[in-house]
Structure formats: C-alpha cells, structure tokens
Amino acid sequence: MKVGVIVFGSLPAGVKQIVYKMQLHLASKHELVGMEIEKDSGTATYRELNINSDAPYLSQTMLMMSAYPEDNKWEEIFSAVDAAVVIGNKEAKEKWEAHLAGRSSVRSLFVPVSIYNDMEGSDSSLGYDTAVNSIVDNILRVKDTINSLKYDKPRLFGFSIDGSPSTKMLKDISIAGDGHYFVPAASEEEILSLRDRIENSFTEWNTSSVIVYSKASANEAQEKVVDQLNVDFKYTEIDEALCMGTNPTSADRIIANGLAVEILSWVQNEQETGQVAVRTDGVAFLKK
C-alpha cells in the first residue's frame, strides 16, 4: 500500500518523532512517501521516506511544511496514494474536512498539531508544551539580564506573541515566567487589577517584571496598561518559528508517541477516514 504523509500549517518539533515511527514500522511493508506542494506553482512532489538518519530523535525532520492545494485540486493530488496521513493545525483541519475527508475515495487520517492548543475535540495538542517552554526560556533569560541592572524607574519588559495565543497559553506563560499577561477581552476592573499587580510586584529588591500578550493586542496592552504605569518599558516579539522549538519537551514526546501508535494502527488495520484526538486519558481515533 502506498501511504502518503503531508504537513500543513504548523510543523512543531515533535512531528519528526511521528515520521520516524512511521518509517520504522511501515517502510518495510508499505511504500511510505512524503508529500509536499510547492507554494507558487501548486505542483505536488512525492518522495520516498527511508530511514537514513543516525540521529532520528534530535535531527531535523525529513518533511517540510507544505502549501495548501487549490480547493479543486485536493482529490487529484491525493489520488496518487492509497492512504494519506494529514498532519496540521486548526486551519488545515478545516480545509481537510471541506476538500478531502468528505468527498475523496482516498482514505485519510487527520492528525492535529498546534503550538496554541486550539484544536477542537482535543484536550491538548502536540507542540503546545514545547512552545510554552521555548517562550518561558526566553523570558527567564531576559529577566536574568534586567535583574542584574539598575534603572531610575522600574523596568517592565513585554513579550508580544505572534499568531493566535489563547488566554490559557498567555496565562501558562506568565505563571511559568513569574510575570503577568494581558488579554483584549479583559474588563476595566480586570485591567485595573492587572496594573495594581504589576505595580505591587516592584520592591526594593525586585525592580523589574514582564508582561505577555498577543501581537494583535500589542497596541491595546500599551495603551491600557503600560502607558498608565511609571515604568521603563521595552518589548520583543516572539514569532511562530521560535515557538516551534528545536527539540520537543518530554510532554510533547509522550503525545507524539501516542499519535504515532494511533497512526500505525489506522494504517495497518486499513481503517476508514477519520481523525485523531488527544484527550486527557490518551489518544483516540474518531470516525469522520
């Protein structure tokens, strides 16, 4: 059987672990091919995936993130394989449901990955823990630097997170980084409380703090919070590439292994089109 693998929308570090497991267990019995679609031309390429790395867990993944096919080209592109494993984020899932899952003769399995943990039907997602960990590492390095310097005014350092970080993600980052977070949906009372907490965090021994927010709400955070405080303010932007991390955390490795087991079962048992969900009690296969 010819099994295709393609990645849309997001490529967290843990994906390479999934691909390696597929190579290890499927390559000897099936033709395993990596699928990629060129952004400008829309041309699809199919490359056999063989185990050729001496460092499969810490090396770069063999797959690159693919562009989306045109809406009327999905079936044509995926008809080159007998079964397809589609790895992707929230947007990718919507496109898979609209253009492949419900109308194609090709069996397909959608595997959710997201650094924002925003996949409907899943309690957690591959990439989230690594993203939070990468951002917190950056925050702690900045805090170590600014804590070693003295300023006339307390210093507040902002971290503007690219993409669509959820309130939970911003909260998790702020807790782990011992800082504060801003969300645009906050009420006036919540914003006043946030400003009070920031001001009260400054002491003789602690003259700096951090605040995290989405890039989309950066201006609002500046206007409603930062400009109302007597602080020296600097900020940096955290893009999605940095959030992906170089290597997955242990928590994401556990999720990756669970996803790989479900993918292998789906291929070997020739199950129908469906999707995988990451639940608190494990990984589950859901019919289309």
64-116 confidence digits (pLDDT tens):
899 999 999 999 999 999 999 999 999 999 999 999 998 778 899 999 999 99
First to last CA, the chain: 21
Q: Which residue has the higher pLDDT, 28 or 129?
A: 129
**Nearest of 283, 285, 278, 282 to residue 128 by alpha carbon:** 278
> Cα(35)–Cα(85) distance, rounded to whole angstroms?
10
DSSP 14-72: THHHHHHHHHHHHTTTSEEEEEEE-TTT--EEEEE-----S-TTTS--S--PBPPPPTT
> Domains in the chain, please, with CATH?
2-127+246-287 (3.40.50.450), 129-242 (3.40.50.460)
CA distance 20 to 26: 10
Q: Is the pLDDT of residue 162 over 70?
A: yes
